[in-house]
Structure 1
């Protein structure tokens, strides 16, 4: 693992692969760390000769935290957002997109295939729209393009818990919102949650990221401006963010392809990693063949 300063923010990252066929940058969702990417997913790109870059978004994992904004200030922001009023978040998704550009600069990567999951899908769309020269293809997974439903904010809001309570909450999350066809069992969920907690437990960071999502107001217009070859992937069984959100995004982005995956919910368990990567690789390789 390495760290570098991107957009004036310390970002922790890991890479794998030779890079002979290009670079794939993977962007995680709200509150999750780069370790949540299953090896079966990212190694599929590595085996095809890509340099695969995984990293912790700001406010998660081993990247820089914005803990100077916490407690009462976060609660006020939450109540303001739930009331339907505009908020001034600690940072925006545009700031997080600049983190990715800064990471690319620091690693000497002029352009890459960008893949984002959930919140990472929103960030990917910003990069594709605003920094098109740095993007070869874009894939948005289990994400959307419109504003965040306030009811979803309530569901995603985190309160500080003990290690044991955090683990059991994650088990319940996977049971309810996970990919049922690829379910690995409660013991796997417990092991994953324990590893995440021990590496870095930052519920305030996840909540600050939530404000960045909630303050995104022009997502649909942004999507319409994307000219990069785009794949939108969604799980047929996603109960957190319904497939209609993915279909909408694909319709907004000119020429985008939409892929619905049976049995996929709002996570990527190890058993789903390889088939999901195959879908993304097909998209990437089709553009390489087209341009060669």
Structure 2
């Protein structure tokens, strides 16, 4: 069941899995993605390992507050907010949940937000897991094909949106694993029906570009940190994972051959085991 709460001056939509007595685990999603992009099966596997799992919609995504009044930022124009603001949203959600601190997992832009959360609110982060992310845009620039897929003009027709989703994941997904077209189209349809806001994605992208590099801030992070990355990621190449792990003292880096900018189902057991080992320690 989706719940909406007031946090950091906005409304945030979230869902939870597992016992409320479990280890608090906050999942932060990436650019333009919604809480449903954390697959229910993956959330349940994490809950089975003793976590109280919460997945949520970032601002400008899904059922959380959208900043429609800010319009679509032109290239190079000031961003209406920064990744620091999304990190503060995450801390505000933890307040609403009654969590003094949590184990924080972020994927892609969500990894950037998780990094910013650990820098800005070190007392709120028990462990940090950064997945297919980077400390800054210049650390791991995308391939030309991945950038073209990311920047493709969004269609407005539902069927065209589903077709574009398959094209995009054909480019940025995991070449070492079979493309799950059915799952991609099902998720794209669910996301379209929940909320379709290309302007929100553009504002999030502007926030990424305006937020600069976190390398210096990550040097001060003192919580146990895990970095997971695909060796075949064309959108945030594996150099981003290496840069993140190098920036955080004592971070553990795990890379997966054949993994692109997604989490193939076949890798879920390993991902869950790595995260659970970190949080249980």
TM-score normalised according to structure 1 size: 0.89
Cα distance in 2 between the residues matched to 1:116 and 1:263? 20
Unpaired runs of 5+ residues, structure 2, are: none
Task: Please show how residues 57-72 of structure 1 align to structure 2 within 5 Å.
Answer: 57-71=58-72
Deviation at residue 262 of structure 1 after TM alignment: 2.2
8 Å CA contact retained: 1:232, 1:258:
yes
Cα distance in 2 between the residues matched to 1:213 and 1:205? 13
8 Å CA contact retained: 1:28, 1:34:
yes
Deviation at residue 53 of structure 1 after TM alignment: 0.5
RMSD: 1.8
CA offsets, 1:156-182, max 9 Å, x none? 335341212211111011111112334
Pairing 1:125–2:115 present: yes
Cα distance in 2 between the residues matched to 1:261 and 1:124? 21
Task: Please show how residues 136-155 of structure 1 align to structure 2 within 5 Å.
Answer: 136-147=126-137, 149=141, 155=149
Aligned to 1:239: 234
Q: 2:184 aligns with which of 176, 184, 189?
A: 189
Q: Secondary structure at the match of 1:232?
A: strand
Task: Please show how residues 1-292 of structure 1 align to structure 2 within 5 Å.
Answer: 1-71=2-72, 74=73, 77-78=74-75, 80=76, 87-147=77-137, 149=141, 155-157=149-151, 159-161=153-155, 162-285=157-280, 287=281
Deviation at residue 269 of structure 1 after TM alignment: 3.8
CA offsets, 1:197-247, max 9 Å, x none? 111111110110001100112311112121111111101121111101110
Cα distance in 2 between the residues matched to 1:168 and 1:64? 27
Cα distance in 1 between the residues matched to 2:245 and 2:61? 29
Q: Which aligned runs of 4 or more in structure 1 are off by greater than 4 angstroms?
A: 148-155
